[in-house]
Structure 1
Amino acid sequence: MKRKHKILISIFTVFMLCVLTISAQTSPIYNLSFEKKGINLAAPLNWEAVGNAHDISLDSANSIDEKYSLSVKSKSGKANTNDAFLLTNRIRAKPFIGSNFKLSGNIRTLNCREGYAQLYVIVQKNGLTIQSVYSWEQRITGTTDWTKNEISIKIDSLADDIVLGMMFRGSRQAWFDDLKIYRNDVLVDEEKIYPAKLNAAEQDWLNLHIIPLPTMVSSKPEEQPDWNEYFGDAKIIGLGEFSHTTSEVFTAKAGIIKSLISKNQLKIIAWESGFAEAEIFNKCLQTKGCDVKSSFKKMITGPWNNAEVLDLLQWIQNYNATAEKPVQFVGFDMQKYKTAFDRLMHFAAAKNNKLLINRLEKYQY
């Protein structure tokens, strides 16, 4: 009988909870004033940084609210508006549906040339954007003292998530501080907006749907349980995590992936990485002797550019060297458009498609 292979989608927003930690006694934390530090101590708790051209830190020397502000500083002194830094915090939309939602905050900039700093809010349903608002008219440029930004939006009845965002483009440095959210112009107290405990119906639903997983601290395939007991005959498996920066999570996920590959049950890994970059990187995984580490640093970015993921991908390269049917690595995101743009331009030139070449040149980066 022909063996059915699984496709693993490794996404780094929570698609399927491999590890689920629930506390019925504590409320969610917005951390709008950045006073609570995250795991890596540089980023504030519950905020996710996107972008590689800037360094972030909690700054106690330039704060207007409590102890810290959030500092964003470009790694290069050169101005490049294509290098955007985003810091986002996702909150539940349910308490705000149908109301006027306002995000306010203070921004300070230093020599922000050919760029700007601003706030934004994105409203989503099932991960798809259904509303958005940016403080375009209030964008901060140049060198400024603390300046207030405010944006408002009426939350759609279909919404399930609200993404709070801060954006910085260009060179030098920007600071963000004293963020606040309002519902119908009333300041929201994050300690009161959510109930302190789950109600009986919510607890029953969780008890019905949660499947406890075994304790996993090893990435070795031979030390893994029989994952078919959990995944059954599923053709697509989604792996997510509750934290982007926890070694144990990446180690556990690597163990699951290696185990499925070792049993010849997994042949395609779809990663939240650039489509064009992943295509190039996949060729390295299929080539014996290719420097996976060097290619990995160039092609795989974000929170999954770490030692645990590198070890997994080097293991896959070794597996592919003798496998009858090698494991394929594909990307399903667009994180850097330069690689994709270059590939498209190369295709147009190879086909001598002058119309396409002319169109592409108009959008040259």
Structure 2
Amino acid sequence: MNKILFLLLTIFSIDCQAQETEKFNLGFENQSKKTSLTDGWFKWGDYELSIDSIAHSGRNSGKITSDQTGNSFGSIAYKIPANYAGKKIKLEGFMKIKNVEKGYAGLLLRVDGNGSSLVFDNMQNQNITGTKDWQKYTISLDYPEEGENIFIAGILSGKGEAWFDDFVLSIDGENVQTLKEGKKELSKVQLDKEFDNGSLIAFSKLTSKSMDNLALLGRIWGFLKYHHPEIAKGNYNWDYELFRFLPTYTKAKNDMDRDKLIISWINSLGEIEQCKNCKSTDKNAFLKPDLNWIENQNDALKQKLLHMYDNRSQGKHYYVGMAIGVGNPEFKNENPYSSMTYPDDGFRLLSLFRYWNMIHYFFPYKHLMDEDWNKKLSEYLPLFIHAKDELEYELAAIQLIGDIQDTHANLWGGGDKTDEWKGKNYPPVHVRFIEDQLVVTDYYNEELQNEAGLKIGDVITRINGKPIQEILKEKSKYYPASNVPTRLRDISADMLRSNSNKIEIEYISNDAKTQNKSLKLYPKDSLNIYRWYRKSDGKSYKKLDNNIGYVTLQTIEEEDISRIKSEFIDTKGIIIDIRNYPSTFVPFSLGSFFVSSSTPFVKFTNGNVDNPGEFTFTNSIEIPSQGKTYKGKLVVLVNELSQSQAEYTSMAFRAGENTTIIGSTTAGADGNVSAIMLPGGLRTMISGIGVNYPNGEETQRIGIVPDIEVKPTIKGIREGKDELLEKAIEIILKQ
């Protein structure tokens, strides 16, 4: 008995010592205070967090419980200083979920540095939903050397419950619990704190000549940022160097004085050594660097800038890199200055300069813009400099972002005042533009149908006395998009928003009689708005009448693909619905079903850090043929909701030997995205690579052009028809 007791006490002692040696409470076991969460864990988002006894091991797990609407997210998070050296970072953890729908659950791994997220993954693209017992999940990312903090978390988006336990974080295979911390040496950029509390720049009345000089400075500043070897090494905080130079520059008496100041500034940055491996622009480059503006400068400045170009930085760059294996730009070490919700004059100017030059040198679709990007610096200087408050600054940024005409580009973060300006209250009905008219197409909450007093198919003609077309003209510039159908898609979601509790509308119902009514509005969290267009209809595939297969990509899972191939091999035709965002990446796994031999379907253009502004084609990527080839007809459904991965997938299916794509213009934004941070905590993105058919034909802005255009009609909406689906069936049955 004494031996058993001694053994138990020994085991208990060893267990306690093991727990004490753990630096980080990643198993949720340590709780030194009477708080709702165990030590070190904290809350992101809106959902309820708790410590639960349903654990994978030990006594505790972390639990997230959604609210009744499922319109938001919750995350249980832990912060670890990034005081470790290495190349790869990996998070492992166990997760259990119950009734997760309208979203996803997953682990989250994020490394932050210099005020922005450097790498990030939340497993959203794995679309983990439903009810699942404890399973181990893993996230692996490149570990950025400039990282300052590591965040690990469990996340639940949508509706349901999720439990998390036994997180393990490792760097280059070494567990951080035992990994020795290394002292990181701060870069010269990080040590420069002079303007952390403000730029000290305040513009008084600016003449047209002053504006021209600022526009030139914006070009010079950006050119030096991406070409000067010393800046590329991280030897200068290039944001703050702008603020140091501006007071002197704005006092220039004439062009000669101005140019001397610029040359002196360039000389102060250090001697430019001869570049022995700088290559000339590829003669076959799809896009070439735009140096025409340099040719327009006086001879001394022109020669200085051309010398810089001929001896530009090569290789690793402090402010930009290219994603490994993809080639889209990664804008690094760009401080978002998030604490400055309304940045001062200097920081607003910096915002314009930063964004304009990122687009000028690293956006693959600059040539497809309706307006000349070279004119945008001068055009937007007054809007940014004279923005009198946070809202005007946000709206100026949105308009600038909109001018690149890329549906991936919008104000995805930091636009709080813009969101308030659009209205805190929402309608109970979903509306879309059908046949150029604003049409009621659904209800967010069925129980509000009678109270709304509107029927599906009703056409709204006026809001608070204003015609719909007039409202569209006012709003359009604040809704960035690649093309008109996609802009209408996004505007429609906000057309009926207001800060009032109700709006007055004029509408036409089935009887073609114009009517007026007050439409009650509701707070967003009381409506089931969350990703309306992705609402699930259960299983991803089914048999229709007449031996026709139907597949929707919005709920498809990897395990569905083999079943689809086996069950649909002898059907007359297959309809694949991509009027949604695919939940699983299927271009190759499912696309291979429709080709009898390896078939090219896409090629890309990539930028070049060593020669900013140069874009060259990659080789074409092919869909492989695997196993039995489908012999029936394939009809693919697309519309303005088909965006990015949906468009890429459509291109893969188009390579099939008997494919017909029907519907209407897609969103026209394909390819991997690159995040951009701007002062004031504004976050946007761009399409970072060019996406083309093998013959070079572009998809950006144009979208996936259907072989047969089919659009829904108001009559069809009123009758509850899916006119695209009906047309697809007709095509398959036609001999």
TM range, normalised to the smaller chain? 0.3 to 0.5
Specify which structure has the bigger relative contact order, considering alpha-carbon pairs within 8 angstroms and separated by 6 or more residues. 1
* Bigger strand share: 1
Q: TM-score, normalised by structure 1?
A: 0.48
Q: TM-score, normalised by structure 2?
A: 0.25
Structure with larger Rg: 2
